Chains A and B, each alone.
Chain A
Amino acid sequence: MCLAIPAEVVELREDETALVEIGGVRKVVSLMLLDGVEAGDYVLVHAGFAIERVDREEAQRTLAVLEEAAEYGPLYE
């Protein structure tokens, strides 16, 4: 139930809402719980609300850490 999905903000709308796109599907979500959202941001959407921005640099950093371990190769060939 605590599922939250990353969605790209397409445009800001009136009344503290934004149009977002999730895997090709567009829907309007509330921005009542998150300040400073801009078009082009990725936000986590839960129960119709944006609850946080996805931080691009941190996402990249986590991937880099994971890729570093992958370079040593698999346990089972």
Chain B
Amino acid sequence: MTPDYYLILAAVLFTIGAVGVLVRRNAIVVFMCVELMLNAANLTLVTFARINGSLDGQIMAFFVMVVAAAEVVIGLAIIMSIFRSRRSASVDDANLLKY
């Protein structure tokens, strides 16, 4: 099995994530779609590490996971606080700032 398929899978995952950000309303789901995009990038990194025969890409994937974990902490905190104030996690309800 050529590694190219992994690259294509990653591209598909990335696209699904990006489209998910556009079409989902729940802030948590939107955020999970972003996480999906990050993991698609991880998959690409690991695949290229395999193709290039170097470990760099795999190590980078670990870095990305750590950063993504930190991002989750921040993100959930923000989403929680806005949910408590508004009783809604829909991103379409947060619409006071415009024009």
- Verify that A and B bind, or say they do not: no
